[in-house]
Amino acid sequence: MRVGVPTGRLWTHSQDLLRQLGFDAGEERGRRYAFHRSAGDLEALALKVPDIPRALADGMIDFAAASDEWLVEHGGNYQSLVPLCWYHVRICVLAPVDTSGQTEDTGRPATVATPYPRLAARLLPQNFTIRAVTGSVEAYPGRLTDLAVDCVETGTTAAANALRPIQELARCDVRLIAHPATDLNDPRAREIIAAAQAISASPQCSYATTPDRTRAS
């Protein structure tokens, strides 16, 4: 059985889950991306957050810690099991602070930069032109595009770039999920779920409001 855990800003939390499952995750990942238990019954892979939903949907991994915004962006079916509360973020429309957030009537659709083009297309009116970007989203509004759609946690980055949230589209959590075909009665599956519940800040958390195209259990 194989588990996917996120790298980057969530790696510290991933280490907690790995240790709870009996992996030797070490203090630093270094160059390691694959972890094995001595019993050989469970493998964990450290993956980039945006890649996790597709890996699970394709059946490459059985369980994963995944963030709501990327689950919605990818689409597909999964079993939602335990809210992990590794972060709580809002998906917001961002506008320059010196505007009302209303775009001028130029006869063209307003342009929006976002790393979540599918999510934005679903949550915004159809009269927006969405520009998919992979980073530096805050550089776009008022310069290269009219607005942006991005994650907001504290608002510090937006403020540093003279932007402000003008509309909240959704709220997102990080959760333990499983492939639809995964047998949750397997002893290893029960162990993974118990480990996630043990390290979750609030296993019954209901912060997330993100609409999804998935099947939750």
Q: 2-87+173-199 has which fold? A: D-Maltodextrin-Binding Protein; domain 2 (3.40.190)
Say if 2-87+173-199 and 89-171 have the same CATH topology: yes
Q: Does the pLDDT at position 196 exceed 90?
A: yes
Write the pLDDT tens digit of every residue in 42-88: 999 999 999 999 999 999 999 999 999 999 999 889 999 999 999 99
What is the torsional sign of CA 206, 208, 212, 215?
negative
Q: Does the pLDDT at position 163 exceed 70?
A: yes
Residue 211 Cα distances to 56, 68, 169, 170, 215, angstroms:
19, 9, 10, 8, 11
User: In the chain, what are the domain boundaries?
Assistant: 2-87+173-199, 89-171
Confidence of residue 127 (pLDDT cuts 50, 70, 90): confident
Question: Vertex 41, ends 40 and 46: CA angle to 5°?
Answer: 85
Confidence of residue 107 (pLDDT cuts 50, 70, 90): low
- Tell the CATH superfamily of the 89-171 domain: Periplasmic binding protein-like II (3.40.190.10)
The pLDDT mean for the chain works out to: 90
Residue 153 contacts residue 10 (beta carbons within 8 Å) = no
